[in-house]
A and B are shown apart, each in its own frame.
Chain A
Amino acid sequence: MAVALRTNLGKLVLQNPVMVASGTFGYGQEYARLIDVNRLGAIITKSITLKPRAGNPPPRIWETAAGMLNAIGLQNVGVEAFIREKMPFLRSLKGPKILVNLAGESVAEYVELARRLDGVEGIDGFELNISCPNCDRGGMEFGVDPALTRQVVRRVRRVTTRFLMPKLSPNVTDIVAIAKAAVDGGADALSLINTIVAMAVDARRRTPRISTVKGGLSGPAIKPIALRMVWQVSRALPQVPLVGLGGIMTATDAAEFLLCGARAVQVGTASYVDPTTSVRIVDELAAYAAQQKVKQVSRLVGALQS
């Protein structure tokens, strides 16, 4: 049975619901050495900031039980070098939509970034990183406060007509309140979840495992939490397109997110484990849909029987 993989997030049409998560896929070119990146639904770039950023001192990562703790600190080349050096390759891709992930320390920085990138050819939209747990200022500050979330989304909304998708932080008590604020601010869609603030300890040396002490936890360990949050938000805001992420390793994991109400998914840490994960999930998701006797993958969205 042929299965239609095409899906949409409002005005943004995707050839399939499989995206790659920000920070885990560089700027596309790195993985193009091993997989056909044209087969992806969307590529979300590593977070871009106005100025180049050095990032945090090492050690920056630590493996935990079924997870990975990181505190990279948004090391990146800055928006101008991104446009000059990274966009030509991304622009050359015909299959995936290109979403640029924006990170700022102030509302003004998010606005300036969006304004600078708004006219750049080959960008289909923006994911707003209002949930980075690894920077001193900005980042997660915005994503844990409904009023700030609404404000930053609204201000960015004013300077771009492109697809706008805030990425929500799981480090909140009421994810639905944040989701509502982001939609209120003018978001076209929401992606959730970013990493969970966590830490790991070296008991022998009595030191934290990563230099910043706290970091963001990703990988299979966080999938149950991510599923719960997607489910909560989709129940509260059934009309809002959601993109689910957190620990997706297989097509079955991806399907679980669709069933909980996500219209698309992002593959993150799994790309480190196996660079072919994202494109394999594209194929296997079709097989799963066929098995479920569903002709369109989009029919699985929110189809959890509860």
Chain B
Amino acid sequence: MTTDLRAGLGSLTQRRARVTAHRRVACDHYLLSLACAPIAHTAQPGQFVHLRCSPKPLWHGGGPLLRRPFSLYDVDRRQGTCHVIYKVVGLGTASLHAVAVGEALDLIGPLGTSFVAGGSVRHAVLIGGGVGIPPLYFLAKDLVKGTRDKGQGTRMKVEVSVFLGARTRDWLICEQAFRRLGVSVHVATDDGTAGYRGSAVDLVRRHLSTLHPSPFTWVYICGPTPMMQAAAALAARRGLPAQVSLEERMGCALGVCMGCAVEIAGPHATAHKRFQRVCTEGPVFEAEAAVWR
């Protein structure tokens, strides 16, 4: 099975984008909104932005040296705003947390490949964990509009099932946003403080056992590596096409530094294809192509 993942070589924008909103959405998790119409207008679900984490110059308390990549949680095409949800985990996100509404951050985007929903998708299974959940919301918002069948040109309805995993209830994000889309939402937490006690992948396994395997069911995965690996294995066993959004430390995000390479399964036409760039060939890859280590 091959899907033609969209290459991330479209037009790019770099600009200082004003922060229009910045609020807490869960314990340690924040939503950041930035005014950048060109990105809002062209970004697709799965794509990301590369952000300087401080409005200040580098030598005046301006956060870490390198930018940080963030998957888009949503865009408002009318308002021209881009939204990301991040969790404070290190130097970059801690610096970002100190940014106030009205300040401006240097932003590059939209970057990378997007999730692909072929015209044949009738049922989409979205599996997200932790801060891997936000890009799936952008995708779900797109999917509920239906997909366009190439032959007929008419919109076909897509049933969307979302499976969300978090360590604990306080870290669960986006649940209400998904529910507002009217899609079915299933929650799992490691400690059982919300929904099913266990992993989101276990929930998916139970759910899929009630379904007939169908070439019209597509799986979209983003979360911590062990979760993605388990979800990808499950999709493979059921013969379902699946896409994963991978993460790696990133330098330039423009495809030049090769710092964010991940191993992709062969056979490869030439040696240099063994490691592919999350920023350019990804972040969305075919799940079966990912090499889990």
Contacts and interface: CB of A to CB of B under 8 A. Distances in A.
A220 to B, nearest CB: 7
Interface stretch (A74-82, A173-181, A224-232): A74-82
Interface string A204-241: 00000000000000011000000000000000000000
A51 B271 CA distance: 9
In the complex, which range does the number of interface residues on chain A fall in?
35 or more
A53 B274 CA distance: 9
A55 B258 contact: yes
A272 B106 contact: no
B257 A24 contact: yes
A105 B263 CA distance: 24
A201 to B, nearest CB: 15
B248 A59 contact: yes
A61 B257 CA distance: 9
Nearest to B259: A61
A72 interface: yes
Contacts of B65: 63, 66-68, 219-220, 269, 273
Nearest to A63: B66
A159 interface: no
A272 B252 contact: yes
Interface residues of B, number: 33
Contact of B256 (A31, A62, A78): A31
A63 B58 CA distance: 14
Interface of B: 11-12, 14, 52, 58, 64-67, 91, 106, 108, 248-252, 254-263, 270-275
What are the 4 closest A-B residue pairs judged by CB atoms, nearest first? A26-B256, A61-B259, A52-B272, A54-B274
27 contacts: A23-B257, A30-B255, A31-B256, A33-B254, A34-B254, A46-B256, A52-B271, A52-B272, A53-B272, A54-B271, A54-B274, A55-B258, A55-B274, A58-B260, A58-B263, A60-B261, A61-B251, A62-B249, A63-B64, A67-B65, A68-B66, A70-B259, A75-B275, A220-B58, A271-B252, A272-B257, A273-B58
Interface of A: 23-26, 30-31, 33-34, 46, 51-63, 66-68, 70, 72, 75-78, 81, 219-220, 249, 269, 271-276
